[in-house]
């Protein structure tokens, strides 16, 4: 894909990232708001100041498209749900979570006769989850610790948002939780599960849905 970066006034330097691909998607969850981050690689950076024809398969630098109606406000309904466990149960003690999808992209940039990369090559995809929750002496919380010690997979489902049209869901069918670190910096003990790897076959480690 191409990423266009336009500025005002029209005489300012505008830029295009051409031949770009998404390497990582990061979803961050906490009690206040949710965040989506995307990182990637691109073939070249083109700017309107030094542009000459036939760069990025363009003959002229494109004008900024007309702006349509867009709501720039933050999406409301930041609450959600999390379900975890061998037999998934809803947890109300989660304080934060970070979901990472890594495509392990590499660029074909060492080919003789070319000054820019020729292609993006994906590697072995990896999906991991970091999450933090308050320790409790109930069976569901103990079950997470036991699964981590025994290297037993669990299911994880994250639902972001509550209002129809503003929902995001991520389902991990088989996550191997790492043994948690204990954080006693607050009045209540927290368990920090870091770099818990999601398993799957044929790129089905994660399922994403919008609603």
The per-residue pLDDT for 111 is 75
Virtual CA dihedral for 30, 35, 36, 40, nearest 10 degrees?
Answer: -100
Q: Model's pTM, two decimal places?
A: 0.85
> What tens-digit pLDDT sequence spans the chain (211 residues)?
889 999 999 889 999 998 889 999 999 998 778 899 999 998 888 899 989 877 777 888 999 988 888 777 766 556 889 999 999 999 999 999 999 999 999 888 777 877 777 788 888 899 999 999 999 999 999 999 999 999 999 999 999 988 888 889 999 999 999 999 999 998 999 999 999 999 998 789 999 999 8
Cα gap 206→175, rounded to integer Å: 10
The per-residue pLDDT for 75 is 62
**HSE-CB of 27 using CA atoms within 13 angstroms:** 16
The per-residue pLDDT for 80 is 87
Three-class secondary structure of residue 26 per DSSP: strand
The per-residue pLDDT for 203 is 83
The per-residue pLDDT for 66 is 86
Q: Which of 73, 72, 90 is nearest to 155 (CA)?
A: 90
The per-residue pLDDT for 99 is 97
Omega of the bond leading into 9 within 30 degrees of 0 (cis): yes
| Domains detected in the chain | 23-39+75-210 (2.30.110)
The per-residue pLDDT for 128 is 97
């Amino acid at each position: 894909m191409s990423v266009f970066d336009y500025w005002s006034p029209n005489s300012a330097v505008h830029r295009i990232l051409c031949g770009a691909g998404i390497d990582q998607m990061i979803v961050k969850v906490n009690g206040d708001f949710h965040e989506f981050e995307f990182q990637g690689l691109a073939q070249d950076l083109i700017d309107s100041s030094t542009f000459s024809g036939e760069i990025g398969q363009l003959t002229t630098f494109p004008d900024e498209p007309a702006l349509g109606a867009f709501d720039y406000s933050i999406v409301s309904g930041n609450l959600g749900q999390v379900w975890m466990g061998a037999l998934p149960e809803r947890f109300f003690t989660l304080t934060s979570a970070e979901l990472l999808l890594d495509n392990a992209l590499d660029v074909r940039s060492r080919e003789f006769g070319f000054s820019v990369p020729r292609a993006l090559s994906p590697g072995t995809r990896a999906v991991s989850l970091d999450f933090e929750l308050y320790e409790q002496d109930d069976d569901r919380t103990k079950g997470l610790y036991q699964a981590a010690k025994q290297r037993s997979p669990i299911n994880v489902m994250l639902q972001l948002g509550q209002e129809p049209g503003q929902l995001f869901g991520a389902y991990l069918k088989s996550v191997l939780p790492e043994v948690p670190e204990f954080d006693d910096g607050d009045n209540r003990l927290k368990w920090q599960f870091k770099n818990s790897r999601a398993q799957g076959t044929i790129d089905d480690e994660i399922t994403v849905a919008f609603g």
